[in-house]
A and B are shown apart, each in its own frame.
Chain A
Amino acid sequence: MEESLLIKKAIDGDLDAFNQLVLSYQELAFNVAYRIMSNEAAAADATQDAVILMYRKMDSYRGGSFKSWFLRIVTNTCYDELRKLKRRPTVPLEPETDEGDLVESAEWLADKSIGLEEAAINAQLEKAIQDCLNQLNPDQKTVMVMVDVSGENYETVSQVIQSPVGTVKSRLSRARLRMQECLKNKRELLPEQFRLNYEDENV
């Protein structure tokens, strides 16, 4: 069924039409939430809250890109959750070794399709990038995640953050420069092929 028809039905209160829209965008929404929250459980909660909020606010949808509208709700919900977490920090219930050290429960350990070495490289890379993403301010982080991780175009991102395309470009470029600086400090942790070359920095 066409998206515009689904949207119209959802606005009229058709739950099935609404759920079809949710299913279309839930993976994108969850991945954006995950990169912003950097925690799967928190990202799932934020996505679910965003879906509920979207259902309540369907009447206020005024046309335009539904994806952008949904992603705006998701990012706003994520930053609301992050603010709450900042006020009430929580301790994750990670398994511990006999010595009391946390057992790293990396996602790649469960993935049997790739080799252990490749999985370890991916985990290191992901951790380094996620750490650097977390150091960006929310505006830069949102733009960086949507363009470089989710592959959205500038127009969609500009609708999500409700700013001109020029602002998206400059924020993105600043975010990338900061990421470079951050990853330079983690150079030893990165796989060889992903080490940024700083030999000629002082040229």
Chain B
Amino acid sequence: MFNQEKLSPRDLELLASAVDQNLSSPEQVEFDKRLGESQHFAESYRQQQKLKQMMAQLPTRSVPHNFSLTRAEAKKAKRSAIWQPMFGWASAISAILFGAIFGSELIFNNYSASPALMAKDAPALNESAPMAAFEGEAPPVYFINWNYSGFNDIGGKGGAGGISNSGGYGVNIFLANVPDLAVEDQVEEFAVSSAAPSDQISELSSDENFEEAAPETRELPEEVFAEPMVAAEEVLEEPMPILGASPQENAEPIEHEAPLIFGINPEKMGEVISESVAVQDAAPETEVAKPETQEVFPLSLRLGLLISAALFGIIWLYLRFKR
């Protein structure tokens, strides 16, 4: 039985050349050798010769009409040869522009959204602070007492809430990067120098963490500073770390002037402005974010490009595949 697998590619080439009488001299030698070696090869050659004769019997068809072009057909052919690539390019350019606009807006929105996202994520980040505080990795909490005149110009953080007999003003500002929970833990640690309990501090805004310790200059509302004042007295009862001598012994009464703090209205000092966290902080954020989300490219432009790409593409396909 004839089996194509029994004939190597070289055998096939030799057979084709032999049937078409196209063998070169070396090929003729090779062919004769193969013819004597393999009966399959010889039989294939014989069958293929017969097939070629059979194929040659097929009649030649006469053309139904001349295929030459008229002037009108030639003009039409040339015209469509211009329009087809033109629509193809137009469609491609529209699609690329639309893609570029869409992509750039995507990138632009992502970049502009990142500050908002950061602000949004900020509480979540702060929530991790208490855990960090337990692990001893919490950022330091500072109590700055501006009333403490310092000792030999040594001021510093964590000073007591003003020396009662030194007169002057005491400003307790609590600075912390951690939320209240962390502060409560830290307050115990800094109880010696703290002038106000943490819960009181947390309820007050930065403007309200202002203590005017000079009784002769101004009476402060009791509900705000009662506890801090008590706390300050308690602190004074405890021994202070002294370098050389105590400040009471060495310091002469110094007249202190109220520190100039920009942004604090002295006439409104001590007034409770708010006891809750200002909710209105969120509103300005959205107002600020609003202009950032403004569309750079108008919707009509994008729609126009999209429609153009589709329309030109359809016309191109029509011109490409129409008969």
Residues of A within 8 A of B (CB): 15, 18-19, 22-23, 26-27, 29-31, 34-35, 40, 43-45, 47-49, 51-52, 55-56, 84, 107, 122, 125-126, 129, 144, 147-149, 151, 153-154, 166, 168-170, 172-174, 176-177, 179-181, 183, 194, 196-197, 200-203
Contact = CB atoms under 8 A, between A and B. Distances in A.
A69 to B, nearest CB: 16
B63 A196 contact: no
Interface stretch (B46-54, B108-116, B281-289, B309-317): B46-54
A51 B67 contact: yes
B133 to A, nearest CB: 72
Interface string B15-49: 11101101000000000000000010001101110
B12 A169 contact: yes
B60 interface: yes
Nearest to B49: A176
A27 B50 contact: no
A48 B12 CA distance: 36
B71 interface: yes
A15 B71 CA distance: 8
B61 A176 contact: no
Contacts of A52: 69, 73, 77
A17 to B, nearest CB: 11
Nearest to A203: B39
Contact of B48 (A49, A168, A176): A176
B120 interface: no
B58 interface: yes
B74 A55 contact: yes
Given A125-B54, A149-B55, A169-B16, A44 B74 contact: no
A47 B21 CA distance: 31
Interface of B: 1-2, 4, 7, 9, 12-13, 15-17, 19-20, 22, 39, 43-44, 46-48, 50-52, 54-69, 71, 73-74, 77-78, 80-81, 321, 323
Contacts of A202: 1
Contacts of B13: 166, 169-170, 173
B60 A19 contact: no
Contacts of B43: 200-201, 203
Which of B44, B52, B71, B74 has most chain A Cβ within 10 Å?
Answer: B74
B44 to A, nearest CB: 7
B54 to A, nearest CB: 5
Given A34-B61, A173-B13, A201-B1, A48 B51 contact: no
A30 B68 contact: no
Which of B20, B46, B54 has most chain A Cβ within 10 Å?
Answer: B54
A172 B20 CA distance: 10
Contacts of A169: 12-13, 16-17
A180 B16 contact: no
A22 B69 contact: yes
B57 A49 contact: no
Contacts of A174: 4, 12
Contacts of B64: 30, 40, 44
Contacts of A172: 16
B51 A179 contact: yes
A27 B68 CA distance: 12
A173 B1 contact: no
B41 to A, nearest CB: 11
Contacts of B4: 174, 177
A181 B74 CA distance: 46
Contact of B12 (A18, A22, A35, A173): A173
Contacts of A49: 323
B51 A196 contact: yes
Given A18-B69, A55-B74, A196 B60 contact: no
